[in-house]
Amino acid sequence: MSVAVIGAGAFGTALAVTLARVQPITLWARDARDMAAQRENTARLPGVRFPDGLSISAELETALACDVILLAVPMQGLGGFADAHDLTGKTVVACCKGIDITTGRGPSAILHQAQHIAVLTGPSFAADIAAGLPTALTLACADPDVAAHLQQTLSTPSLRLYRTGDVVGAELGGALKNIIAIGCGAVMGAGLGDSARAALMTRGFAEMQRVAATFGADAETLMGLSGLGDLTLTCTSDQSRNYRLGLALGAGADFDTRITVEGAATAQALRKVAQERNLDLPVCNAIAGLVDGTLDMTRAMDHLLARPLKEE
């Protein structure tokens, strides 16, 4: 079975590298010529040599002809990619996390034209995966036979996949934890302390569960790798771009706008969804305000701490 990764950012490159250690993999990249010559992605994942099993291609049709396509493009570009390319009859695995800011849809809804759709999500950093460090992810697919086949195809000695049929729950966990990670970074950047971060993580997780339930997801899914696991990782490590953005917001420091931070757009998209569905999401809404500049840290914390006292 042929496998391609489309998107040569850090995560897409890391997936391609670790998979190519056990099977032939095609990685599509815009700067394929330089990457093929150097056998390294010096811009996104420097210091990681490509294994012999990894082929770099600038021909998108070559990648799209493969049996399994891993789409590692930014979430806000996924809709444009799906509109521009025929995915009918394809087996597509979405490797991005977020909610489309224009449509309010997740990856599986955007890729509806594909024959088989799966979502790969969970606690992972590109550098860890590429280095062959032990990593466990969730593979979500509604078809149990396809899920089992993909699980076998995409697992490696260092990359362990757990499968679930709850696609919506898995992708919401991966999307919403990015918002909370921005908030946790802001708490630490503002010097509010570990106790405040723990409180924000916990109340943020309650909001994640609230949103997931509204969309019919299984509560147990949010307790797994794609929810609680990913939340724990991204809220406590400065390897997370979302957490680093929060650090900058909390400290009043500049942040490199060229860096893709999926949680920033997802926070704006979720605020729209919350308004449409009348969802009470004070933590997520406060973080959306921090991101778009309508709230500063003082006003955001005052707003959250002044809420009426209630049961947990």
The residues carrying an active-site annotation are 177
Token pair listed for 276 = 């449409």
Contact (Cβ atoms closer than 8 angstroms) between residue 67 and residue 3: yes
Q: What is the DSSP letter of 309?
A: P
Q: How far apart are CA 214 and CA 86, in angstroms?
A: 31
Q: How far apart are CA 51 and CA 105, in angstroms?
A: 36
Is 13 strand, coil or helix? helix
Is 216 strand, coil or helix? coil
Amino acid at 124: S
Handedness of CA 167, 170, 174, 179 (dihedral sign): positive
Residue 211's Cβ-count burial label (10 Å; 0-12, 13-18, 19+) is buried
Contact (Cβ atoms closer than 8 angstroms) between residue 123 and residue 232: yes
